[in-house]
């Protein structure tokens, strides 16, 4: 195998796995650890990868708060994201709401052919290596805390698109208060996205149940799927059958 080919393959592999050990790479590419080190070094020099003790990962020159949030309940978010990814098909035009749970889905859909509209800057960044993903950003004021674009510009841009699926995030849900979020600036964006989408998915890990934030952006009768990481409390199952929602969780 050509060295250059191997190096691009390594980059690809790491991007797919997010981070891998050197031993993994040795096994995968059947060359010595020494060689892997040298290859990795080249990619590091090109700023394509980052070394971590014992392996490599993709570089994330991100500011702290978002990074931290990403790690919280990471396992649960991955489970949810993988379940949700099953519903995404080639050719879909999806709205991908800003959030850490929704962001995890990229990993599972990156090889599909999709049009993704998002107000989150990191999603655009993360999707860059995958040319099958056509990315539309919404404009607007950049909000540092959520690393997303908010405000009327963003909402107006979204109102012009038609989605067949909307993947929504939430900071809390309850049966009477519906789906809530903590940034009023984002509410209009979410409303517009929901109104223009055929099917609406809400991704929420178990910690989000029976909690609520300042603004409500939707109610149970407006959405189609709730995807979570474990069996929810019984009253949600009941509510779901009343409102004809599908609640999806690992069996």
Q: Which residues of the shown chain bind DNA in the complex (CB under 7 A)?
A: 1, 3, 6, 21-23, 30-35, 37-39, 51-55
129 binds its own copies (CB under 8 A): yes
The helix or strand, by DSSP H or E, that contains position 245, with its residue range, turns out to be none
DSSP, res 200? E
Query: Min. distance of Cβ 140 from its own copies in angstroms?
Result: 6
* Residue with Cβ nearer its own copies (191 or 206): 191
111 binds its own copies (CB under 8 A): no
Name the residue with tokens 């090109």.
Answer: 46
* Residue with Cβ nearer its own copies (147 or 190): 147
- How far is the C-alpha of 19 from the C-alpha of 109, rounded, in Å? 18
CB neighbourhood size of 57 (10 A): 15
- How far is the C-alpha of 153 from the C-alpha of 149, rounded, in Å? 9
Using CB under 8 A as the binding criterion, the count of chain residues that bind its own copies stands at: 44
Residue 35 binding target from its own copies, DNA, none, CB below 5 to 8 Å by type = DNA
Alpha-carbon Rg for the chain, nearest whole angstrom, is 20
71 binds its own copies (CB under 8 A): no
- Site mask for its own copies (CB under 8 A), range 14-43, x = bound: ----xxxx----------------------
53 binds its own copies (CB under 8 A): yes
207 binds its own copies (CB under 8 A): no
* Residue with Cβ nearer its own copies (119 or 197): 119
Paired sense of beta strands 55-57 and 50-52, if any: antiparallel
Query: Min. distance of Cβ 104 from DNA in angstroms?
Result: 24
131 binds its own copies (CB under 8 A): yes
225 phi, psi to nearest 5 deg: -130, 140
* Residue with Cβ nearer DNA (10 or 173): 10
Residues 115/116/122/128 CA torsion (nearest 10 deg): 0
142 binds its own copies (CB under 8 A): yes
With b for 16 or more beta-carbon neighbours within 10 A and e for fewer, the 133-163 pattern comes to bebebbebeebeebbbbbbeebbebbeebeb
Yes or no: say if 213 and 182 are a contact pair by the CB < 8 Å rule: yes
Given the rule CB under 8 A, which residues bind its own copies?
A: 2-5, 8, 18-21, 46-47, 52-55, 57, 61, 63, 65, 67-68, 121, 124-125, 127-129, 131, 134-142, 144, 147, 149, 153-154, 157, 160
């Amino acid at each position: 195998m050509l060295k250059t080919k191997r190096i691009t393959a390594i980059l690809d592999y790491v991007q797919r796995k997010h981070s891998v050990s050197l031993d993994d790479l040795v096994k995968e590419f059947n060359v010595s650890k020494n060689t892997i080190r040298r290859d990795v070094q080249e990619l590091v020099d090109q700023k394509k990868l980052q070394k971590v003790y014992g392996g490599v990962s993709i570089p994330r020159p991100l500011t702290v708060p978002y990074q931290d949030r990403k790690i919280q309940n990471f396992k649960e978010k991955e489970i949810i994201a993988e379940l949700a990814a099953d519903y995404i098909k080639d050719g879909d035009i999806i709205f991908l709401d800003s959030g850490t749970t929704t962001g995890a889905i990229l990993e599972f859909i990156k090889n599909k052919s999709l049009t993704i509209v998002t107000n989150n800057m990191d999603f655009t960044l993360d999707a860059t290596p995958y040319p099958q993903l056509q990315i539309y950003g919404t404009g607007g004021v950049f909000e540092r805390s959520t690393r997303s674009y908010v405000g009327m510009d963003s909402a107006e841009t979204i109102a012009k698109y038609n989605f067949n699926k909307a993947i929504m995030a939430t900071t809390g849900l309850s049966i009477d208060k519906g789906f809530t979020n903590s940034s009023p600036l984002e509410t209009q964006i979410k409303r517009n996205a929901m109104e223009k989408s055929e099917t609406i998915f809400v991704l929420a890990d178990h910690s989000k149940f029976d909690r609520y934030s300042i603004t409500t952006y939707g109610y149970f009768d407006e959405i189609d799927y709730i995807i979570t990481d474990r069996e929810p409390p019984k009253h949600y199952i009941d509510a779901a059958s009343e409102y004809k929602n599908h609640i999806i969780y690992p069996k």
